[in-house]
Structure 1
Amino acid sequence: MKKRLIVLSTVLTVGSLLLAACSDNQGAAPAQGSNTPTSTDAGKTAAPAANALTEQVKAADLSKLPNIAKQRTDTIIVGLTDPSGAFTPYFQKSGYDGNVSSLLYTPLVTVDNKGVPTPGLAEKWDVSSDNLTITYHLRPNLKFSDGSPITADDVAFTWTILHDKAYDGDTQVDVLHVKGGKDYKEGRAKTIEGIKVIDPLTISVTLDQPNATALVTLGSDVLSKAYYGKDYQFGQLDYLKKLHEKPVGTGPYKLDKFIPGQEVRFVANENYFNGKPKTEHFIYKTSQGDTWQFLETGEVDYASFSATKENIDKLKKLGFLNILPYTPSVYGYVQVNLEHEQLKDKKVRQAFAYGLDRQSIYVDANQGAGAIANIPSSPISWAYTEDGINPYKYDVEKAKSLLEEAGWKPGADGIREKDGKPLSIHFLGSKGKQTDDFIAVATENFKALGVKFQPEMFADFNSLVSKVNSGDFDMVTFSTSMLTDPADGLQQFVDGEIKGYNNPKFKELYDKGLATVDIEARKKIYKEIYQLMNDELPVIFTNYKKTVYAYNGRIENLSVSPFNGLSTSLPNWSLSKQP
């Protein structure tokens, strides 16, 4: 399993910080979601999904707002797990660092609520007819937070250091195959052939092969060449570490002060291209504690929770909170070990998809705060489809029939056998409610199918990953992080994460989906991919998460993007006067 940055907490980052897979208990859902005001016991029958929140609920009585929150006039506070202080884009040590830098930087190209590219610092772009060359046109009069101009030279510098042999971050620039990028990285060239500065506001980049994700990936954050490149020498990037806590950015806020273990303070950036933010001060509260308590007492203005009926009812009862439903751009799945003989057979994997009561595990046990997934895409993506997709509704008899067809017959002890070997599943999971729910239901489900189920639990995610990397497992549950482009949800099937999966047809379609930037053409390709994956089940798709955001009813103009989190609307947040 490759090392990726985990995007957690308030999910402010765009799609540049992606991880191939993360534990269901440490996934891309906001970290505050684990500090829910109430909990649900595993196996408990709860309210159906129909009772889930579908539209925003306005605060019923702002007079109930705690005094500490009433006294704030120009400051908004949000909770965040303590970042490391590495606030330079592309060099963050965790998704929490990325949440900070997302307020300090604005990308050249961002995405809208469907994941479609939309202008950021670049006012427009052109793509050549062969889809190999992208030309970005910067907005005029752009400035960094220190007042210096942003030009195409800064963009070229940013792309250059991401190709430096010393760069060891998690950007996906390498896989884009910028023309001459490999020669630069290996020291055979002094510059990168495919990068051309046309004029101070125009820059082009040429790829060796088309890639539809290149527009947004290369259109990410811009670093100041004058500041970050002053001491740059090829092969030497350590000097950047001393600049991480003193960022010069392009975003709506500037870093005021970072107090490890306590808070990150921001002040509005008067040089922000879209105008100075309406609220002068913003604070990430990083002190350890109960998020529910912080919200209830007014110490923070915003938090996220699992969208259970209990949580929603309790949040409504406080009276001073607006409540906003949110579905993040992630999907959950059960990774199966395709290198183990019993799981190589598609019929066995399909049998398990039918035989696992995913509705009970992911929807009912979470009081409707979830939905069933059957493809590697979120419902909020422009590429999502249910056309021609098998829902694999819970059907024990269908599952048994498929196992029979695959040659697995019940033995004397009720456990199915084939060629003298019993059908057993060694399951791995991280300790947590989601895993508890899975094990409780799966134990009964597999018993009904005549399968021996052997769960193994891990106290920390790194230990679980180590076990997965060793190959000593049959099944393990994971969730993706935020997915910006539909190709992101397929990355693990082409980069070796899912060992044992090697279908030439899938690879052909995957490459075809990246070879054009025409969204309508790509929709047709991804529909074909999803139908293929839904049939083959290289993993068993499980669920989509549902979350609610609760925030101080005085905050106006707040919205949450499935792909950008809060960062898009945050510059427009303002605090209304007391009622």
Structure 2
Amino acid sequence: MRTGKSILLSLVMVGTLLVSACSSEPAAVEPSQGNGSQVSGQNQTGADAKTPVSAGLSEPVLASDLSKLPGSAKERTDTVIVGLTDPSGAFTPYFHQTGYDGNVSSLLYASLVTVDDQGVPVPDLAEKWEVSEDQLTYTFHLREDVKFSDGSPLTTEDVAFTWTLLHDKAYDGGTDLTSIGVKGGQDYKAGKAESISGIQIKDPSTISVTLEKPNATALLTLGSDILSKAYYGKDYKFGELEYIKNLHATPVGSGPYKLDKFIPGQEVRFVANEHYYKGKPKLERFIYKTTEGDTWQFIETGEQDYGSFQATQDNLDKLKGLGFLNLVPYTPSNYGFIQLNLEHEALKDKKVRQALTYGLDRQTIYVDSNQGAATLANIPTSPISWSYTEEGINPYEYNPEKAIALLEEAGWTVGADGIREKDGNQLTIHFLGSKRQSTDIFIAVARENYAAIGVKFEPEQFADFNSLVAKVESGDYDFAAFSTPLLTDPADGVVAFVNGEVKGYDNPKVKELYARGLETTDIEERKKIYHELYQVLNDDLPYIFTSYGKSVIAYNGRLEGFKVNPFRGIAASLPEWSLK
């Protein structure tokens, strides 16, 4: 299972929006669902993304009748409202308690490097960079006169501080900067050095960092959000990071917006940052509405200006019928999965994991029930990724006979009550999921499917995502339904299988292939490596891979400047939004 900060950095896909949140690795999120979905993403390395599409909608559709716009939406002249599940208030990058915190901080902070809508790295706070011929040294050049939201200058001292902080022995957040192997990084973390030798400040706008070996994800891992040394480093002492918690609620960033007010359970209010390097955003105010409720209702009444929905024909017809919404087809770069507790004895056996996959009618659960607004996933990457393949991949089509045969081979025989037993223990699956219609469908189908092959199925649902996370962290589960955040580089989709996040899973071949995939920047070479890696994971099934969702984005027809990036969501275009 995912543990600690990793799972708490969830970027949840329920409700309403697509934004970006920076991290060097993916985290578990709730799977997208039938009525509305919220998708969050990361800034990572990638290339050659395919054009996003959705079932039943291939081109954007403009609002047909803006006169139908609800009065509450017409009255707003300088504010856009988007829904978000209530964040925890830990708004400092690298220290988020939930992915919802990342949704907030993505508007408050800017990164050195970001990605365009093809997943290609492009400048952000850094106007340019160079990579040495041996792929070991990265030199970043900051833009002139870049400032934090308090008006103070952003320099390479802040960049060096951020990189150093993430090497601190007390840092336990979701970004593992040590994984890219900065020269001298481990010595600093071990307390053997007072600084990191691989980090060299050339001048206030130029900084270089040297790695121990090439790493394909280094550019954007290093190029993530920058923290103010004067603010976040004022009280910094090696090995002591508790003080940063006192700064979470009063962020100082360099992004397009500043935090105006956070009212837990109600909203997060932002005001445009006049110091933003691209210029003050066109929208003076932006609000995340964190009140619990139905996305459809909020959109219909004009309480929210944006919603992301599964691209079912029913949803498309209803959205078009409202008249005042622009619609955009969208396929996010993530995948859904069932997290398995591999520390439980039965699930340690690959044959059992395969049997439970063959014995689950995923087509009915994820595709048919959603009117085709999804496709089945069998590997840990999205179909829009350059690494995607179906060659040599087992589709695990529903086959209860095959499931029964595998369980018999694994020594699980049917007991007197019809439930399979082994060594005096029944084969029971304790499933955790959120309270919603799609989970109800999963439970109904899974209960019937597993009863047919002699597996006892015990579902448990949670209205509150954090409660679900706590249950998973306690280890009291067998299955838990999640999805990844937006993934750009294929390494992001498989890192959990090599860094210990998936407790109980340790495959040397997976680790070897993962390392090889990072040691070259040649896309074709990496593609071969990941294809082999996907075949191994497809056979091993440390997760049961479930689906790729197809969405339609609906937004207020008055909203201009709206664009969606398959890898960053709406955050990239938000500073350009305006209301006509």
TM-score normalised by length of structure 1: 0.86
CA contact (8 A) 2:419 2:456 kept: no
Matching residue within 494, 499, 514 for 2:498? 494
Q: Distance in 2 between matches of 1:82 and 1:442?
A: 30
CA contact (8 A) 1:113 1:563 kept: yes
Q: Residues 339 and 80 of structure 1: is their aligned pair in 2 closer, same or farther, counting only changes over 3 Å? A: closer
Matching residue within 228, 243, 246 for 2:232? 228
CA contact (8 A) 1:263 1:285 kept: yes
Specify every segment of 5 or more residues in structure 2 that has no aligned partner in the other structure, as ranges.
41-52
Q: How far is 1:198 from its partner?
A: 1.6
Q: How far is 1:26 from its partner?
A: 9.6
Q: Residues 285 and 346 of structure 1: is their aligned pair in 2 closer, same or farther, counting only changes over 3 Å? A: closer
Q: Residues 51 and 303 of structure 1: is their aligned pair in 2 closer, same or farther, counting only changes over 3 Å? A: closer
Partner letter of residue 135 of structure 1? T
Give the % identical residues. Answer: 65
Q: Distance in 2 between matches of 1:499 and 1:261?
A: 33
Q: How far is 1:229 from its partner?
A: 3.0
CA contact (8 A) 2:85 2:292 kept: yes
Partner letter of residue 13 of structure 1? S
Q: Residues 560 and 502 of structure 1: is their aligned pair in 2 closer, same or farther, counting only changes over 3 Å? A: same
Alignment length, in residue pairs?
558
Specify every segment of 5 or more residues in structure 1 that has no aligned partner in the other structure, as ranges.
34-48
2:442 is aligned with 1:442: no
Report the 3-state secondary structure (helix = DSSP H, G, I; strand = E; otherwise coil) of the residue aligned with 1:57.
coil
Partner of 1:544: 548
Q: How far is 1:376 from its partner?
A: 0.7
2:431 is aligned with 1:428: yes
Q: Distance in 2 between matches of 1:283 and 1:345?
A: 48
2:123 is aligned with 1:115: no
Q: How far is 1:155 from its partner?
A: 0.6
Partner of 2:60: 56
CA contact (8 A) 1:262 1:285 kept: yes
Q: More deviation in 242-251 or 14-23?
A: 14-23
Q: Distance in 2 between matches of 1:470 and 1:97?
A: 22
Q: Residues 261 and 477 of structure 1: is their aligned pair in 2 closer, same or farther, counting only changes over 3 Å? A: closer
Q: Residues 167 and 415 of structure 1: is their aligned pair in 2 closer, same or farther, counting only changes over 3 Å? A: closer
CA contact (8 A) 1:14 1:565 kept: no
Q: How far is 1:319 from its partner?
A: 0.7
Q: How far is 1:551 from its partner?
A: 0.8
Q: How far is 1:312 from its partner?
A: 2.5
Q: Residues 210 and 367 of structure 1: is their aligned pair in 2 closer, same or farther, counting only changes over 3 Å? A: same
Q: Per-residue CA shift, 1:505-540, capped at 9, x if unaligned? A: 221101101112333322221111112222232322
Partner of 1:320: 324
TM-score normalised by length of structure 2: 0.86
Partner of 1:37: none
Report the 3-state secondary structure (helix = DSSP H, G, I; strand = E; otherwise coil) of the residue aligned with 2:19.
coil
Report the 3-state secondary structure (helix = DSSP H, G, I; strand = E; otherwise coil) of the residue aligned with 2:536.
helix
Q: Distance in 1 between matches of 2:367 and 2:145?
A: 50
Q: How far is 1:156 from its partner?
A: 0.7
Q: Per-residue CA shift, 1:473-507, capped at 9, x if unaligned? A: 55443322333321121122112333443322221
Q: Residues 11 and 232 of structure 1: is their aligned pair in 2 closer, same or farther, counting only changes over 3 Å? A: same
Q: More deviation in 308-317 or 233-242?
A: 233-242
Partner of 2:391: 387
Partner of 2:204: 200
Q: Distance in 2 between matches of 1:271 and 1:206?
A: 31
Q: Distance in 1 between matches of 2:180 and 2:73?
A: 47
Q: Per-residue CA shift, 1:304-361, capped at 9, x if unaligned? A: 2333333332222211011223233322223345455654554443343333211101
Q: Distance in 1 between matches of 2:106 and 2:520?
A: 28
Partner of 1:485: 489
Partner of 1:13: 20
Written as runs of structure 1 = structure 2, the 5 A alignment for 1:509-520 is 509-520=513-524
Partner of 1:177: 181
Partner of 2:570: 566
Q: Residues 262 and 107 of structure 1: is their aligned pair in 2 closer, same or farther, counting only changes over 3 Å? A: same
CA contact (8 A) 2:32 2:549 kept: no
Q: How far is 1:375 from its partner?
A: 0.2
Q: Residues 248 and 164 of structure 1: is their aligned pair in 2 closer, same or farther, counting only changes over 3 Å? A: same
2:144 is aligned with 1:140: yes
CA contact (8 A) 1:7 1:13 kept: no
Written as runs of structure 1 = structure 2, the 5 A alignment for 1:283-362 is 283-338=287-342, 343-362=347-366
Report the 3-state secondary structure (helix = DSSP H, G, I; strand = E; otherwise coil) of the residue aligned with 2:188.
helix
Q: More deviation in 340-349 or 282-291?
A: 340-349
Q: Residues 539 and 99 of structure 1: is their aligned pair in 2 closer, same or farther, counting only changes over 3 Å? A: closer
Q: Residues 463 and 290 of structure 1: is their aligned pair in 2 closer, same or farther, counting only changes over 3 Å? A: closer
Partner of 2:47: none
Aligned CA-pair RMSD: 3.2
Q: Distance in 1 between matches of 2:517 and 2:74?
A: 51
Q: Distance in 2 between matches of 1:473 and 1:291?
A: 30
Q: Distance in 1 between matches of 2:338 and 2:560?
A: 40
Report the 3-state secondary structure (helix = DSSP H, G, I; strand = E; otherwise coil) of the residue aligned with 1:329.
coil
Q: How far is 1:367 from its partner?
A: 2.8
Partner letter of residue 327 of structure 2? I
Q: How far is 1:283 from its partner?
A: 2.4
Q: More deviation in 316-325 or 117-126?
A: 117-126
2:278 is aligned with 1:271: no
2:74 is aligned with 1:67: no
Matching residue within 556, 559, 570 for 2:560? 556
Q: Residues 137 and 395 of structure 1: is their aligned pair in 2 closer, same or farther, counting only changes over 3 Å? A: same
Q: Distance in 1 between matches of 2:325 and 2:541?
A: 42
Report the 3-state secondary structure (helix = DSSP H, G, I; strand = E; otherwise coil) of the residue aligned with 2:565.
coil
Partner letter of residue 430 of structure 1? G
Q: Per-residue CA shift, 1:108-132, capped at 9, x if unaligned? A: 1112334332222122323334433
Matching residue within 209, 222, 238 for 1:218? 222
Q: Distance in 2 between matches of 1:26 and 1:388?
A: 30
